[in-house]
Amino acid sequence: MNEAAVLQLRNAISHFVKMDDADWALLLPYLEERQLSKQELFAKEGKVSLDIGFLLNGNMRHYYTRDGEEKTKYFYFEGHFVSSYISCIRQQPSELTIEAMTDCTLLVFRYKDLLKLYDLSHKWERFGRLVAEYLAIGLEERMTGLLMLSPEERYIQLLESNKQKIIERIPQHYVSSYLGITPVSLSRIRNRMAKK
Amino acid sequence: MNEAAVLQLRNAISHFVKMDDADWALLLPYLEERQLSKQELFAKEGKVSLDIGFLLNGNMRHYYTRDGEEKTKYFYFEGHFVSSYISCIRQQPSELTIEAMTDCTLLVFRYKDLLKLYDLSHKWERFGRLVAEYLAIGLEERMTGLLMLSPEERYIQLLESNKQKIIERIPQHYVSSYLGITPVSLSRIRNRMAKK
DNA sequence: TCAGTACGTTAACTTAAGATAAGAAATAAG
DNA sequence: CTTATTTCTTATCTTAAGTTAACGTACTGA
């Protein structure tokens, strides 16, 4: 097992809860490293997601399928968790697919093992709470943006956010999809903005 | 303290976690009943929210303010929790205002007391996790609706959902706001649909 | 009771997004 | 290097939402 990788994960988790060695040791046996090649899937629409990943290297995206089209709605970067978490929680088939945009390296553990940790340790349960709260905060922010802002305002907000990497590293038609508009429309917005 | 009301709350909470009497007793000292008259506020934009309510009677709505206009984005009904939860969690000023649409009766406790319960009891911590997960699931659902569906489709989805009460009991301009469109636009959509 | 307000609909006009297609630019593959 | 593919832009046309305003109805409070 890659020690540096494990340390990186521990660091990310301690962002939510500081784990002592005993608590941390509970997770270790469940960790495994996984490589994904570009375009391989981490979660698949219609299948119940079982795994939670921690992205060591590469980017991923998740998308929904509608009318045969892939609607990209989120991006994952190094140092962050990757999962069709809602599918794990609900134990229902995932509505989204998570795909590697580049070759990726992850540390992976199973949601069912995380549930074991929740039972064993109050601290891990707290971690679960804080992660879910963090997720809710992010979703709330995204949602109010969608409800309150025009596509152009959403694009500006994205430009000004800490998610700039989304724009820099990611094909524009994925960004437009993220904003909930067509690539053509985003191109027009950019054109409009450039003229000001 | 109204015993029936407390029982109703206990029942709602047991929907997330079954509490034994000892765990349940931890919350009791913090409960208080509160009456709100129509148009009184439960949470206010710009103020850090401190309270979590359980709605025994009446309806409430929450709204954001933008360009001087109130944008209603959520409705609360009897038997559900009411809170600017994100504000509580983050200990940041609320971006939304929660207003009683009718005279309301609530059971109220403070978020800071809930945090005490989290510390004291693994079961209450689990409750916190499950509530946050539940919240995230709801937000995710709403968000994908906004990203993937047209206003008309969102309205149809709402009609077909278990949130029908929203439409039945609530002024139409609030509904349109909930859908992210203008009242005029919703009126047109309804007109269009009636003709089919 | 009666005036004032709030709410929903309709209409006319403006604005911008969606769909489609064509072409340019950038990237990847042989 | 050349070709093929993907990505982005531009243009045209269609569609629907936003804006504003007028009108009718229902509700509210003095």
Tell me the C-alpha distance between B156 and B140, whole Å.
Answer: 18
Q: Which of residues 55-94 of B touch A (CB under 8 A)?
A: 64, 66, 71, 73, 85-86, 89-90
State which residues of chain A have pLDDT below 70.
196
Strand D closer than 7 A to residue B184 Cβ = yes
What does the pLDDT read at residue A196? 57
Q: Where are the alpha helices (DSSP H) in chain B?
A: 3-14, 21-27, 85-90, 111-120, 122-148, 151-160, 164-169, 172-179, 183-195
Shared domain for A83 and A163, answered yes or no, is no
Query: Measured between CB atoms, which of A126, A140, A148 is closest to B71?
Result: A148
In strand D, which positions have an atom below 7 A from any protein CB?
A: 6-11, 16-21
Residues A95 and A134 in one domain: yes
A190 CA: nearest nucleotide by C1': D9
Do residues A98 and A41 share a domain?
Answer: yes
pLDDT of residue B164: 76
Are B86 and A132 within 8 A, CB to CB?
A: no
Residue A68: per-residue pLDDT? 81
CA distance B97 to chain A (A): 14
Rounded CA-CA distance B179/A27 in Å is 43
Residues A31 and A126 in one domain: yes
Nucleotides in chain C with any atom closer than 7 Å to protein CB: 6-12, 16-21
Q: How many contacts (CB atoms, under 8 Å) link A and B? A: 80
Tokens of B59: 């309806």
Strand partners, B81: B54
Does residue A106 sit in the same domain as residue A40? yes
Does the residue B163 lie in any domain? no
> Could you tell me the CA-to-CA distances from B184 to B68, B73, B150, B180, B188 in Å, in that order?
19, 17, 16, 12, 6
Considering the domain boundaries, does residue B130 fall inside one?
yes
Closest CA to A135 of B142, B57, B140: B140
On whether residue B95 sits in a domain, the answer given is yes
Q: Which residues of B touch A85 (CB under 8 A)?
A: 136
**A134 and A177 part of one domain:** no
* Inter-chain touch B64–A122, beta carbons under 8 Å: no
Question: CA-to-C1' distance for B51 and D14, Å?
Answer: 50
**How many C-beta atoms surround the C-beta of residue A39 within 10 A?**
10
- Same domain for A126 and A154, yes or no, is no
CB contact under 8 A, B64 and A133: no
- Of chain A, the end-to-end C-alpha distance in Å amounts to 53
What the block records as the tokens of A175 is 């960004």
Report the residue of A91, A137, A175 to disrupt the B interface, i.e. the one with the largest count of B CBs within 10 Å: A137
Residues A140 and A107 both lie in one domain: yes
**Residue B112 within a domain:** yes
pLDDT score, position A124: 98
Which among B90, B122, B129 has the least Cβ separation from residue A132?
B129
Q: Are residues A14 and A58 in the same domain?
A: yes
| A81 and A99 part of one domain | yes
Please give the Cα distance from A63 to A77 (Å, whole number): 15
Beta carbon of A151 within 7 Å of strand C?
A: yes
> Taking CB atoms and an 8 Å limit, are A129 and B118 in contact across chains?
yes
Look at residue B94 in the predicted model and tell me its pLDDT. Answer: 97
A56 and A111 belong to one structural domain = yes
Strand ranges across the sheet with A41-43: A41-43, A97-100, A60-66, A69-76
Q: Provide the pLDDT for residue A66.
A: 85
In a domain, B159, yes or no: no
Could you say which residues from 1 to 60 on chain B have a Cβ atom under 8 Å away from some Cβ of chain A? Answer: none
How far does CA B114 lie from the centroid of its chain?
Answer: 17
Query: pLDDT digit of tens for each residue in chain B (196 aa)?
Result: 789 999 999 999 999 999 999 999 999 999 999 999 999 999 999 999 999 999 999 999 999 998 888 999 999 999 999 999 999 999 999 999 999 999 999 999 999 999 999 999 999 999 999 999 999 999 999 999 998 999 999 999 999 887 777 788 899 999 999 999 999 999 999 998 887 5
- Supply the range of the domain harboring residue B130: 3-148
Query: Do A146 and B148 lie within an 8 Å CB cutoff?
Result: no
Tell me which residue in A90, A136, A143 faces B146 most closely, judged by beta carbons.
Answer: A143
- Asked if residue A48 and residue A114 are part of one domain, the reply reads yes
Q: Please report, rounded to whole angstroms, the spatial distance between the CA atom of protein residue A67 and the C1' atom of nucleotide C21.
A: 20
> Distance, in angstroms, between B147 CA and closest chain A CA?
5
Residue B68's pLDDT is: 82
How far is Cα A5 from Cα B133, in angstroms, rounded to an integer?
A: 28
Per CB-CB distance under 8 Å, the chain B contacts of A118 are 126, 129
- CB of A187 nearer than 7 A to strand D: yes
Residue A80 corresponds to which tokens in the numbers above? 């962050």
Domain boundary among A128, A145, A162: A145
A71 contacts A65 by C-beta, under 8 angstroms: yes
Work out how many domains chain B is built from and give that number: 1
Residue in this structure with the two tokens 């005279």, named with its chain if needed: B103
d(CA A142, CA A126): 24
C-alpha distance from residue B17 to each of A54, B14, B89 (Å)? 29, 5, 20
User: Is nucleic acid strand C under 7 Å from B183's C-beta?
Assistant: yes
- CATH classification of the domain holding B67: 2.60.120.10
Per-residue HEC secondary structure of A119-134 comes to HHCHHHHHHHHHHHHH
